[in-house]
Amino acid sequence: MLSKTIEKALNGQINAEIYSSYLYLAMSAWCESTGLAGFANWMRMQAQEEMFHAMKLYGFVHERGGRVFLDGIAAPPNVWKSPLDVIQSTLEHEQKVTGLINGLANLAQDERDHATTIFLQWFVSEQVEEEANVGAVLDKLKLIGMDTSGLFVLDQEMASRVFTPPTTSAK
Ligand code: FEO
């Protein structure tokens, strides 16, 4: 059984993950509007991945006998200055999410909730991967600079991203 404190914190994270999905969908729409179809695809896959994170938490709360309460989702920004700006904003957002996950992990430890501690390990590792993935795109964009043919090639690369939910996910 989840304590009310952990239940509230996990519900807060469900909201944060759905907001992340909404934010990346807004980024996808912006990329689409600038003709960067590959970047738009990458962001759409990112949005799907975030909804998967939300549903993983949703499943865990129920599995532990808790209650999911859905809250309002804040409006995301809809405009960015450049592909570099959109990817830089993605990295900053992921760093913020890593902070939230670490905070949750600390709380689970403080509460001696071992099941939640183990469950959150997946998210801790996932954040390492998420930051590394977006960091790699950011590095390439910085190398490309103002070279539009480089941007064209990177856009094609971004078009190949697919999202396949891990088979070991929580319900
Ligand atoms: Fe669900 Fe990108 O963190």
pTM: 0.95
Q: What span, in angstroms and rounded, lies between the C-alpha atoms of 138 and 124?
A: 21
Q: From first to last of its 171 residues, what are the pLDDT tens digits of the chain?
A: 899 999 999 999 999 999 999 999 999 999 999 999 999 999 999 999 999 999 999 999 999 999 999 999 999 999 999 999 999 999 999 999 999 999 999 999 999 999 999 999 999 999 999 999 999 999 999 999 989 999 999 999 999 999 998 875 444
Q: With b meaning 16 or more CB within 10 Å and e meaning fewer, what string describes 34-66?
A: eebebbbbbbbbbbbbbbbbbbbbbebbeebeb
CB 53 near ligand 1, within 6 Å: yes
Q: Are 10 and 2 in contact, with CB atoms under 8 Å apart?
A: yes
Q: 126: Cβ–Cβ under 8 A, 6 or more apart, which residues?
A: 53
Q: Which fold has domain 4-158?
A: Ferritin (1.20.1260)
Domain boundaries, the chain: 4-158
Q: What span, in angstroms and rounded, lies between the C-alpha atoms of 119 and 121?
A: 6
CB 94 near ligand 1, within 6 Å: yes
Residue nearest to atom 1 of ligand 1 (CA): 50
- The closest-lying atom of ligand 1 relative to the alpha carbon of residue 130 is 2
What are the tokens at 151? Answer: 């941007």
CB 97 near ligand 1, within 6 Å: yes
Q: Which helix (H) or strand (E) holds 166?
A: none
